[in-house]
Amino acid sequence: MFSDTPVHIDYSPDVKGVEILSILKNIYAIAMGIVDAHYNSPNLRFLFLTKAFNEMKQILIRYGGQAETMFNYCGYGDFTLTALNDLSRNRTLGLLIGKGFFTDNISDKVVLEGKIAVNVFCDEISKSNSIHCNLPIIGELYELFNGEYKISEFVNRVLND
C-alpha cells in the first residue's frame, strides 16, 4: 500500500510498550525543556538526554514493555522529536518552567499531557518503592509539580542522584 511513497511504517508487536512510551516521551520532554532553558550546552543536553532515555527504559521494562521497543521510532525517535523540537507543547512547558514563566493557569489553556502523566506515574511507582532510588528525573519533576521547588537546582539534583 505504501510502497513507492515517502510514508514509512515502523511496527512493534509490543503494544503495552508503545503505549507506555507514548506517555513517557511527554514527561521527559518537560525535563529536557528545563535543561535547555538553563544551559546552552550540547554536552549537557545529550548527557541529560541519555539519562532520560535510560530512565524511560527502566520504567518501560518495569511495567511490562520490551526493552527493544525503546529503539523503535515510538521510543527513541518519538522521544527525541518531542524533547528537542520547539513545537512540542511539553518541551515548551519545560522551557517556561526553566525560565520562571510557568503558572498553574497555563494548564487551563493548553493540554499538557506530560504534567498530568508525572503525577499518575509517580503515584504508581511510589506504591512499590522510592521514586528517587533509580528514577531521579521523574522524581524531581514530581516534586516540582507538587510543592515548593527551587528550579535552579533541578539539573544538579538529577545529575547527583
Per the structure, the complete domain to which residue 69 belongs is given by 15-160
Residue 6 belongs to some domain of the structure: no
- Active-site pick, 16, 25, 109, 127: 25
The C-alpha cell that represents 31 in the structure block: 525535563
25 is catalytic: yes
> Up-side HSE of residue 44: CA atoms within 13 Å toward CB?
15
Residue 151 belongs to some domain of the structure: yes
The pTM assigned to this predicted structure is 0.86
Residue 10 belongs to some domain of the structure: no
Residue 8 belongs to some domain of the structure: no
Number of domains observed in the structure of the chain: 1
CATH for 125: 1.10.1040.10
How many angstroms separate the CA atoms of 107 and 124, rounded?
22
How many angstroms separate the CA atoms of 151 and 61, rounded?
29
Q: What pLDDT tens digit does each residue of the chain (161 aa) get?
A: 788 999 888 889 999 999 999 999 999 999 999 999 988 899 999 999 999 999 999 999 999 999 999 999 999 999 999 999 999 988 998 998 898 887 666 555 555 667 778 877 777 776 666 555 678 999 888 888 887 788 888 888 888 87
> Up-side HSE of residue 119: CA atoms within 13 Å toward CB?
8
Residue 9 belongs to some domain of the structure: no
